[in-house]
Each structure stands twice: as C-alpha cells, then as structure tokens.
C-alpha cells in the first residue's frame, strides 16, 4: 500500500475561487435582468461580449506568462467583463468595450501578476482607460435605448441621467420609485437599486463579502449629501445621490473586490468611508457628474496600507495595553 504523506490539515472545505466568482455572478444576475428590461437586449449582448473578451485576454495572458493556474475556469475574468460592461452605457460601441476589457485584463491585472495581485480594480481600470480616449462613449446616455439595436451602430438619443441633472444642482424629474427600480438613464448595471440590493443580500448570505465596505461607502455618501445638500430638500437630495449613478454598484460590487480592498475589518470601514467621501468630493468638484470610478481607484491604492495601519488586536492583548 502506497501511503501519501502530506502536511496537516488533511481535509479542506469545498470552497473554491470558482464558487466565489459564481456567487458574484449570481448576485449580478438581478441587475442584468433589470438592464434588459430597461435598456433592451443590447445590454445583454454587450455584457456577454465583454465577458468573452475578458476570458480570451485572461487565457492569452495565462499562455504568454506560462501560469499554471486555471485562469479561465476560475470565472474571475467573467466577473471583470460583466462589471466593466455594467459600468458603461448601453449605447457604448462594442469595440470600445473590448478595448476596455483588454486593458483591464492585460495591463491592470495580468502584467502585475494576475489574479489577486492587482492593485487596481481591473473593471474600473478598463473603464478609466476608455474614458480617457472615448469619453463620449462612456458618458453619453440614451434613456430610451430599448430601441437601440443589438447589432450595428446606435443612434444616441442624448438624454440626461439623474446625475447629469444633479450636477446642475437640480433634483431629477424621475420619481424616487423610478430611481429605486431603475427606470432612469445611466450605465447598464447601475440603475436598478432594488436589483443591486438583492445581489448584496445574496453575497452577504453566502458569506462572500461582509457588510462593512458597502455600508461605510453608502453611509458616507448619504451623510455628506445630507449635510451638504443642494436645492431645498436635503433628504431627497441624499436619496437621489445614493441611488443615482454608480454608488450602489460600486459600493457592493467594485469596492468589495478582494484583491484591491483591505481585509482587516477596521481597515474595511475606513476604506469604505474613503470611497464615499471621495465620490462626493469628485461629484461636487470634478469635471464629470460621476465620481465612483476614480474614488474607488484612488482608494485601491490605499488598500494594503490601510490593512497595515490598522492591525488586528493581538490575542490576549486588550485595547489600551492591558494584559500586555
């Protein structure tokens, strides 16, 4: 009998990276469904193309750098592709999405060491890149895009999103209910707060993420916009600020990206607060109405430093030094 000698522990849970990514995709499904309802089938096609492009790029990087890990099977590239598509308007040309995907996977993720090694969120990095060259493709929205063809060019019926209206210090015309269910202009995956909250509940239930980063992020945005409101209704301004634009999508799905966010509980709170504060600052003082992308990308750079700066209490050492 040939006995295998290996180090303890000799049993492992059946948790895998693939299962975690699958849970994230499941959590994104409600927002996908909402996007198809509000923006038409082009939203689905664009998302699928983005996911496929990311997987293809990841596979190429795996081959080029001779990584043994199964980078296609772990589904992480699919998540990146879906998130990048979700952060773009439905009218965005496919080739722009594909360039964003390539930048996200090859430069932001692959060249710095691949899965888990990247400092910046690949989807947001890809979005920031295409925004640099083709800002119109990223920031021009079509409200009635159900008519947008799944293939071929799209006539952009320029219409303003709630955030664009709010950048003029005016409350949007859409009702709060429309904001909540997503019957508004905006990026593919960001409009339906309800769907995003359902996804959040799934991620919490499955233990994929903790509540800390999303709660701190949304909390900071809410408190700041309540205090520094514009117009004459602070509460309404706050609610439109939280539900308009990418705060919910960013707080639940982007800022919680494992590789680019802190793991220490206290650092997660600080990180979430930082994202929220930066989002509001960029929205109020930046040249674009939206601030989520750059807020999270900036905080990405602090993720490891925050972990280091806020160490976990050592077992047996009480706060204040007692027992030391």
Partner 1 sequence: MKQLFGGGIHPDGHKDMSRGGAAVPVPAPETVVIPLCQHIGSACKPLVAVGDAVLMGQKIGDGEGRCSPVHATVSGEVTAIEEREVPGGAKVLSVVIRNDFKDARAEAKGAEDYMSLSAAEVAAMVREAGVVGMGGAAFPTNSKIASNEGKTETVLINACECEPYITSDDTIMCTCPGDVIGGARLLAKALKARKSIIAIEDNKPEAIAALRAEAGEDELVEIRVLPTRYPQGAKKQLILAVTGREVAPGARSGALFNVTTTANIFRAVTKGQPLLEKIVTVTGDGANAPQNVLVRIGTSFADVIKAAGGIAEDTKQVIAGGPMMGKAVDTLDVPVVKGTNSILCLTKACDAAADPVCIRCGKCASVCPMYLQPLYLYRYAKAGDKEMLNEYYLNDCMECGCCSFVCPGKLPLTETFVQAKQLLKGGK
Nearer to partner 1, 168 or 314 (CB): 314
Rounded to 5 degrees, what are φ and ψ at 158? -60, 125
Nearer to partner 1, 106 or 192 (CB): 106
Q: Are 288 and 140 in contact (CB under 8 A)?
A: no
HEC per residue, 25-75: HHHHHHHHHHHHHHHCHHHHHHHHHHHHHHHHHHHHHHHHCCCCCCCCCCC
Rounded to 5 degrees, what are φ and ψ at 111? -70, -20
Letter string b/e over residues 248-281, b meaning 16 or more CB atoms within 10 A of that residue's CB: bbbbbbbbbbebbbbebebbbbbbbbbbbbbbbe
Nearer to partner 1, 48 or 310 (CB): 310
Q: What is the DSSP letter of 151?
A: S
Rounded distance between C-alpha atoms, residue 163 and residue 149, angstroms:
25
CB of 8 to partner 1, least distance (A): 5
Nearer to partner 1, 37 or 264 (CB): 264
CB of 286 to partner 1, least distance (A): 29
CB of 308 to partner 1, least distance (A): 8
Nearer to partner 1, 17 or 183 (CB): 17
SS3 107: helix
Count other Cβ atoms within 10 Å, centred on residue 47: 26
Which of 277, 261, 271 has its CA nearest to residue 221?
A: 277
Rounded distance between C-alpha atoms, residue 235 and residue 241, angstroms:
10
Nearer to partner 1, 121 or 139 (CB): 121
CB of 219 to partner 1, least distance (A): 21
Question: Which stretches of the chain bind partner 1, using CB under 8 A?
Answer: 1, 3-13, 15-17, 19-20, 67-69, 74, 76, 114-116, 258-259, 261, 263-264, 307, 312-318, 323-324
CB of 109 to partner 1, least distance (A): 12
Nearer to partner 1, 50 or 118 (CB): 118
CB of 129 to partner 1, least distance (A): 23
CA atoms lying within 13 Å on the CB side of residue 88: 40
Rounded distance between C-alpha atoms, residue 295 and residue 261, angstroms:
13
CB of 312 to partner 1, least distance (A): 5
Rounded distance between C-alpha atoms, residue 18 and residue 166, angstroms:
40
Nearer to partner 1, 152 or 323 (CB): 323
CB of 145 to partner 1, least distance (A): 35
């Amino acid at each position: 009998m040939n006995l295998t000698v290996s180090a303890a522990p000799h049993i492992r849970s059946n948790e895998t990276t693939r299962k975690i990514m699958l849970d994230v995709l499941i959590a994104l499904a409600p927002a996908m469904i909402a996007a198809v309802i509000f923006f038409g089938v082009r939203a689905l096609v664009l998302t699928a193309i983005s996911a496929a492009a990311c997987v293809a790029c990841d596979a190429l990087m795996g081959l080029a750098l001779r990584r043994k890990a199964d980078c296609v099977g772990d589904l992480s590239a699919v998540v990146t592709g879906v998130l990048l598509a979700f952060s773009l308007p439905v009218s965005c040309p496919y080739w722009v999405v594909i360039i964003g995907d390539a930048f996200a996977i090859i430069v932001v993720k692959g060249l710095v060491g691949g899965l888990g090694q990247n400092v910046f969120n690949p989807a947001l990095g890809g979005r920031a890149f295409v925004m640099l060259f083709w800002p119109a493709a990223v920031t021009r929205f079509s409200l009635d895009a159900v008519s947008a063809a799944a293939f071929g060019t799209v006539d952009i019926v320029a219409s303003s999103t709630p955030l664009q209206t709010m950048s003029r210090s005016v409350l949007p015309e859409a009702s709060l209910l429309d904001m909540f269910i997503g019957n508004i202009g905006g990026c593919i995956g960001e409009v339906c707060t309800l769907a995003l909250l359902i996804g959040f509940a799934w991620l919490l239930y499955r233990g994929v993420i903790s509540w800390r980063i999303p709660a701190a992020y949304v909390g900071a945005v809410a408190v700041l916009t309540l205090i520094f409101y514009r117009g004459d209704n602070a509460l309404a301004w706050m609610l439109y600020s939280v539900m308009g634009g990418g705060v919910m999508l960013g707080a639940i799905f982007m800022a919680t990206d494992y590789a680019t966010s802190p793991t220490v509980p206290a650092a997660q709170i600080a990180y979430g607060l930082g994202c929220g504060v930066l989002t509001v600052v960029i929205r109020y003082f930046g040249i674009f109405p939206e601030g989520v992308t750059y807020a999270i990308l900036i905080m990405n750079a602090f993720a490891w430093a925050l972990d280091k700066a806020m160490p976990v209490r050592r077992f047996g050492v009480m706060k204040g030094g007692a027992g030391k």
